[in-house]
Structure 1
Amino acid sequence: MYQALRASRSEFVPVRNLSYHVRLWGEPSAARPPLVLMHGWMDVAASWQFVVDALAEERFVVAADWRGFGLTEGGRVDNYWMPDYLADLDWLLDHYAGDVPVDLVGHSMGGNVVMQYAGVRPQRVRRLVNLEGFGMPALKPDQAPERFGKWIDELKRLHRGEMALASYSGVEGVARRLMKTNPRLTQDKADWLAAHWSAGRPHPEGGERWEILGDPAHKIINANLFRLDEMLALYAAITAPLLAVEASDDSLGQWWKGRYTLDEYHERLKKVPDARIARVEDAGHMLHHDQPARVAGLIEDFLSS
């Protein structure tokens, strides 16, 4: 199994009505702001271990499990909303940074959140890094009736137990699933991630099954339409320099089949006053697992520039 080079510690922090699980590396320093790492959909804070291990210098690093992921409870809800992530992040920065602007990094869903947050609270972000947080295809108002209907239908399916996440007979099954989803993931890293990404729970028929630490309610679509005009207004309000990092595998093209492209994403980034784009070769969407040393180097070079 992968051997972590930098030990982390866990703590729980009150955030609104939840107890947020946070993983920490290093110690706070008056000389440097916290480096805050926010994970993506169906991921956990421990997923950043490989990048933290690859950092050339010691930093005080803060990584939280978003609500309903990892060891952070979901609050007994049956769907999740983007504004909640923004408020949760604000609470976390109150606790760990106070008035000090932070270096803020997000991957995938976390990348989308930190991009929006940096527009809402520009004074709280010193440097901003977005790893594959592309946003969504633009939607039209006339799609609203169908979308609301689909949202209601999915809620009913969830309450009937039809949207449960897959379970596995052992942690090794979780590791195999991670490697199937990401063929570049090595066995040692898959075994390490699986132990943090899942937990064994008693099964009604005896024994235990290993389940991903994610609330199935995250699978429910957002009832509200994605508003490109609102997103661009948030991008325009960002004052921190932005590094947008993308992998050589075009995951955006694979997901949306031409409905939303990298060229469109790059056009959106032009709204950010100070933005640059970097590319990581031989990597897919989970680029922080595929090429952690390259990702860590890009982050450190950007933060020190």
Structure 2
Amino acid sequence: MSTTSVYSPLHVARSRFVWVRGLRKHLLFWGDPAAATPGAPLLVLVHGWMDVGASFQFAVDALRTRPGWQDRPIVALDWRGFGQSDASGTDSYWFADYLADLDFILDELSPGEPIDLLGHSMGGNAVMLYAGLRPQRIRRLVNVEGFGMPSAEPEEAPDRFAKWIDELKQPARLKDYDSLEAVAERLKGNNPRLRADFALWLAQHWSHEEGDRRVISADPAHKRPQPLLYRLPEVLGFFRRITAPVLFIEGDQTPYFLLFNGKYDRNQFLERSKAVPDLRLSTVADAGHMVHHDQPEALATLVADFLQSP
């Protein structure tokens, strides 16, 4: 049995469920959205692939120590099929659904006023597209490690569709675990920088009990790749429509580009970023891909300064 203590949140979130497009979506609230003002609007946080909204707890606690942030309303969501949000009920997940879900949720949370929006990884890619889709809804945008994907060529489409169909014929499974401590060890294995007390706290939200096992709180169908190609000209079309100032935050030890075996690198990302009308880049020291876990205080400082600057 582990003797490590579990992280104790300084500011406990309130859970709320809303019905969006026929699915029950889980939201976490710190503060009251009704308290938002034009100068200090609602901040909405969206997580990455195989993560949950509670993942932002450490960064929220750090933000609350900043002047002007003691009561500012913050909301984090669980994407469909993650955390406590309903699964889609289908055998695949489509990126367009994330954008539509976010739009419906903002109709509920802030129908008449722009928000500040932050996304990590997959969520960072989603918020960039959303800010081009609904530029009038975003006051300021923060993208944490949402670098995008290698540009795909049309000739790749048949093989991608064939691979997708072949994987549909195989059951999708996620590994289960015999204890909360085992889940925490899995999280630390994914990210060696993760503090032990953070890992134990996250494990409670990243998994749930089924009988005597702990099961990851995600629909296994998320493991199936989408057959649709990542078309760079379309992505840049979204980028050019962004009107909000954008802060891109990366970890100086990010392993992100290693995923692509030389097919996509940071220089290509920097070239794409020129399509965004107003983008600035900040790098967090001693941080990998999970910046909000590795350096929550440094992330909170960058985010607070950016969102409060004139």
Q: Indicate the TM-score class for this superposition, using the shorter chain for normalisation.
A: over 0.9
Aligned position for 2:149: 136
Q: Distance in 1 between matches of 2:229 and 2:260?
A: 16
The reply on whether 1:302 has 2:310 as its aligned counterpart is: no
Q: Deviations over 1:110-158 (max 9, x none)?
A: 000000000000000000000000111001001111000001011111x
Q: Which amino acid aligns with 2:178?
A: S
Q: Which runs of 4+ in 1 moved over 6 A?
A: none
Superposition RMSD in Å: 0.8
The reply on whether 1:219 has 2:223 as its aligned counterpart is: yes
Alignment of 1:122-133 (within 5 A): 122-133=135-146
The reply on whether 1:262 has 2:227 as its aligned counterpart is: no
Q: What SS class does the counterpart of residue 143 from structure 1 fall into?
A: helix
Residue pair 2:46, 2:118 contacting (<8 A) in 1 also: yes
Q: Distance in 2 between matches of 1:257 and 1:147?
A: 18
The reply on whether 1:87 has 2:100 as its aligned counterpart is: yes
Q: Distance in 1 between matches of 2:51 and 2:29?
A: 16
Aligned position for 2:277: 273
CA apart distance, 1:30: 4.0
CA apart distance, 1:252: 2.6
Residue pair 1:104, 1:127 contacting (<8 A) in 2 also: yes
Residue pair 1:9, 1:25 contacting (<8 A) in 2 also: yes
**Counterpart among 189, 202, 207 of residue 180 in structure 1:** 189
Residue pair 1:167, 1:212 contacting (<8 A) in 2 also: yes
Alignment of 1:107-186 (within 5 A): 107-157=120-170, 161=171, 163-186=172-195
Shift in CA distance, 30/167, structure 1 to aligned 2, threshold 3 Å = closer
Aligned position for 1:52: 60
Q: Distance in 1 between matches of 2:269 and 2:261?
A: 14
Unpaired runs of at least 5, structure 1: 203-207
Residue pair 2:36, 2:73 contacting (<8 A) in 1 also: no
CA apart distance, 1:216: 0.7
Aligned position for 1:250: 254
The reply on whether 1:13 has 2:22 as its aligned counterpart is: no
Q: Deviations over 1:250-284 (max 9, x none)?
A: 32322112110011011111000000000011011
Normalised TM-score (structure 1): 0.96
Aligned position for 2:86: 73
Aligned position for 2:297: 293
Aligned position for 2:50: 42
Q: Distance in 2 between matches of 1:263 and 1:257?
A: 14
**Counterpart among 30, 41, 46 of residue 33 in structure 1:** 41
Aligned position for 2:3: none
Q: What SS class does the counterpart of residue 255 from structure 1 fall into?
A: helix
Q: Which amino acid aligns with 2:201?
A: W
Q: Deviations over 1:54-78 (max 9, x none)?
A: 0112220011100000000113111
Q: Deviations over 1:95-124 (max 9, x none)?
A: 111121100000000000000000000000
**Counterpart among 188, 200, 203 of residue 194 in structure 1:** 203
Aligned length: 296
Q: Distance in 1 between matches of 2:196 and 2:16?
A: 28
Unpaired runs of at least 5, structure 2: 1-5
Residue pair 1:252, 1:260 contacting (<8 A) in 2 also: no
Residue pair 1:10, 1:22 contacting (<8 A) in 2 also: yes
Q: What SS class does the counterpart of residue 74 from structure 1 fall into?
A: coil
